[in-house]
């Protein structure tokens, strides 16, 4: 199994600022995934982070707003830039097992933008 740690767990941010969320995994993984869960909504994939290459963004998400770093096989960051209240969400990091049949999620980073 994989243990995923996310920081911060919660934060209240001012409009117009940026916040970087960290995701640390206790084992090496090829791909890491970032999801967003807006209040009362389901989870939506933001992007896939591969080590050594640029992240792949899903439709509706852009690098300027959600820059991602993946410096090694156990760590990734997601930055939420120039935040507005609409960015108030839970942001979750996820990884898959080598076989692909188990997906692990972090506890999430709960962001409130005021």
Interacting residue ranges for other proteins, rule: CB under 8 A: 31, 33, 41-45, 48, 92, 94-97, 99-103, 105-108
Judged by beta carbon, residue 68 or residue 92, the one nearer other proteins is 92
Judged by beta carbon, residue 11 or residue 17, the one nearer other proteins is 11
Q: CB of 92: closest distance to other proteins in angstroms?
A: 7
Per DSSP, 85 falls in state G
- Exposure class string for 31-55: b at 16+ Cβ within 10 A, else e: ebbbbbeeeeeeeebbbbbbbeeeb
Q: CB of 98: closest distance to other proteins in angstroms?
A: 9
Instruction: Count Cβ atoms below 10 Å from residue 64 Cβ, excluding itself.
Output: 7
Find out whether 95 and 1 touch, Cβ atoms under 8 Å.
Answer: no
Q: CB of 82: closest distance to other proteins in angstroms?
A: 26
């Amino acid at each position: 199994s994989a243990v995923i740690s996310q920081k911060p767990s919660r934060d209240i941010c001012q409009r117009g600022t940026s916040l970087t969320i960290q995701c640390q995994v206790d084992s090496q993984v090829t791909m890491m995934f970032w999801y967003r869960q807006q209040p009362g909504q389901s989870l939506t994939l933001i992007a896939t982070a591969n080590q050594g290459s640029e992240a792949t963004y899903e439709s509706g998400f852009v690098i300027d707003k959600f820059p991602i770093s993946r410096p090694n096989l156990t760590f990734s960051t997601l930055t939420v830039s120039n935040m507005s209240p609409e960015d108030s969400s839970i942001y979750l990091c996820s990884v898959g097992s080598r076989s692909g049949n188990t997906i692990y999620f972090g506890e999430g980073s709960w962001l409130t933008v005021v």
